[in-house]
Structure 1
Amino acid sequence: MKNLLSCFCLGFLLVLGCQSEPRKIVPEVPLVAVPAKIVAAKKTANHAATVLSKKEVPILCYHNIRDFSASASGNIKVYTVKPPAFAEQMKALADAGYQTILPEQLYNYLVFDGPLPAKPILITFDDTREEQFTIGAAEMKKYGFKGVFFIMTVSINRPGYLSKEQIKSLSDSGNVVAAHTWDHHMVTKYTGDDWNVQLVKPKAKLEEIIGKPVKDFAYPFGLWNTAAIPEIKKSGYEMGYILSTKRDTTDPLYTIRRIIVSGTWSTEGMMRSIDSSFK
């Protein structure tokens, strides 16, 4: 009993002692947020061999979007797609899950391994025809598609061709305006001042109209040679577009492949051509 009482008194004194001791103030340590890991964008450009080894993005090339008769020439039939067929093709692309990309995204994919959607596609138009705006762009808009419009500057404001206002509207609505020379003269025949007339001046004219840099160039008839590539580079273009011929192994960015969508193709034929041409 005596031992029990002693233990009780000792415990009581210890409690009193703890309560009487001044409280220690521990300074609050602020929480420091740990920054998220930032993955730096790739800065080293891919070599030509790497660019050539990458899976090609399908690129379609349209010219005229208008009706033609059964007796029309073979050339007209190849370069002209009827409006109902164009509408059907855009719907088929959307239904198949394709998403349009633009040249900047293609460039970043080829040069810096940038990301692409699961089923990317570029839709391009050559030769400045007015129906590319009134029918082409209007139809693509239904599916959120954007396109690339290669302009011959000699044609601007002429009847049946795009006006300055339409070109500006295309650019302002998210499409890309690009160069297709002054008058569709073959690049393989340029000499002397032709480079300035066909490459430099059209680029400056289009930039004046849209208020943005013009970085892309399409060869008339898809014809190119190695002598043209340094001149195209010097003129300030980042990429050059051909048709479905062999690419240059030294400068593949200046021989980007496209296929012409023929007016003789069915929609199913066009879809098959995409698969077979861009493996």
Structure 2
Amino acid sequence: MKNILFLVSIGLFLLVGCNSKPTKIEKETTEVNTPVQKVAPKKEMADLATILSKKEVPILCYHNIKELSANAGEMTKTYTVTPANFAQQMKALSDEGYHSILPNQLYEYLVHDAPLPTNPIMITFDDTRGEQYSLGAAEMKKYGFKGVFFVMTVSINRPNYLTKEQIKSLSDSGNTVAAHTWDHHMVTKYAGEDWETQLVKPKKKLEDIIGKPVTYFAYPFGLWNKEAIPEIKKSGYQMAFILSTKRDSIDPLYTIRRIIVAGQWSTPSVMKAIKSSFNK
């Protein structure tokens, strides 16, 4: 009897197994939505009349920050601000509510109508002197100011001039490193290979040091001519800075005005010059 029941059970099992449908395994498909990248609309560049109508931002130009020797000549006195006077001037700027800006902010303001902080000012340094790092940048840091350092590349690593490491440090800490030619020859005298030597190669050298694009340039002695501007544009510079002479009505972005802070000026004289030189 047990054998019969066992055989019946086996038969039923086989019957059910043969008549049952195979389980259908369906793949679960997940719809992948590829995000559509939105392309930002290209900003309209301001026309010439709009750029020229903008209020000029005060831009200061420093060279030497050091003590004067007893027999210093008038030219040296003009181009040299003592450490004590530089410290007083930075404090006065801070007390008066000035906020430092950099060239990229100035460009966006002039070309794309970007806002600037209240009481904007730009603090620039020419000629690569070592004290611009040890004294200038250090003093500005107390007030949250950033500066623009126009470097002539022939002097890098020479005694009393900026080193590669200092230039990199200035850039890494939020200052702007910009070009000031290879060896400070006047742009008005360039011809032939001079453009490559004085504009292109210094730009590349500084970019190699800081690892960022270098797109701003300062004319040695502030001297420029109309023949230089196409070459400066072609070399990849976005703006160029002169000194206190009148900016060009056709290429104002390549003749941005600055004033030299003369060593003979008192701090009140500096503050007065800022207002009178850039008050439109």
TM-score band by shorter chain is 0.7 to 0.9
Tell me: CA distance 1:223–1:229, structure 2 relative to 1, closer, same or farther (3 Å). Answer: same
Q: Deviations over 1:60-114 (max 9, x none)?
A: 0000000103531000010000000000000000000000000010000000110
How has the CA–CA distance of structure 1 residues 173 and 52 changed in structure 2, closer, same or farther, with 3 Å as cutoff? same
Q: Deviations over 1:4-26 (max 9, x none)?
A: xxxxxxxxxxxxxxxxxxxxxxx
- The one-letter amino acid paired with 1:276 is S
User: Does 1:219 pair with 2:194?
Assistant: no
- The runs of 4+ residues in structure 1 deviating greater than 6 Å are none
Task: Identify the residue that residue 20 of structure 2 maps to in structure 1.
Answer: none
Alpha-carbon separation, structure 2, partners of 1:147 and 1:169? 13
Sequence identity percentage: 74
CA contact (8 A) 1:42 1:112 kept: no
Correspondence for 2:13: none
User: 2: CA distance between counterparts of 1:210 and 1:65?
Assistant: 24
Count the aligned residue pairs.
Answer: 240
The answer to whether the 8 Å contact 1:222/1:243 transfers is yes
- Rounded to whole Å, the distance in 1 between the matches of 2:259 and 2:42 is 30
Aligned to 1:112: 112
Q: Report the AA paired with residue 146 of structure 1.
A: K
Secondary structure of the structure 2 residue equivalent to 1:45: coil
Cross-structure match for 2:238: 238
Q: Deviations over 1:41-78 (max 9, x none)?
A: 88211112211111000000000000103531000010
Alpha-carbon distance between aligned partners in 2 of 1:76 and 1:53, rounded to the nearest angstrom: 36
Residues of 2 paired with 1:258 and 1:275: CA distance? 13
Which runs of structure 2 are paired with 1:30-49 in the superposition (5 Å)? 43-49=43-49
CA RMSD of aligned residues (A): 1.1
1:86 aligns with 2:86: yes
Residue aligning to 1:144: 144
Matching residue's letter, 1:171:
S
SS in 1 for 2:121: strand
Q: Residues 101-250 of structure 1: matches in 2 within 5 Å?
A: 101-250=101-250
Corresponding residue number in structure 1 for 2:65: 65
Q: d(CA) in 2 for partners of 1:42 and 1:257?
A: 28
Which structure 1 segments of 5+ residues have no match? 1-39
TM-score (norm 2): 0.84
Alignment-derived partner of residue 23 in structure 2: none
Give me the whole-angstrom Cα distance separating, in 2, the residues matched to 1:87 and 1:41: 44
* Structure 2: runs of 5 or more not aligned: 1-39
Distance in structure 1 (CA, Å) of the matches to 2:218 and 2:268: 27
Question: Which residue of structure 2 aligns with residue 254 of structure 1?
Answer: 254
SS of 1:51's partner is helix
Q: Is contact 1:179-1:202 (8 Å) kept?
A: yes
In structure 1, how many angstroms separate the alpha carbons of the residues matched to 2:88 and 2:55? Answer: 27
Partner residue, 1:55: 55
Counterpart CA distance in 1 for 2:136 and 2:81 is 11
TM-score (norm 1): 0.85
Please give the alpha-carbon distance, in whole angstroms, between the structure 2 residues aligned to 1:93 and 1:69: 27
Q: Is the 8 A contact 1:62 1:261 kept in 2?
A: yes
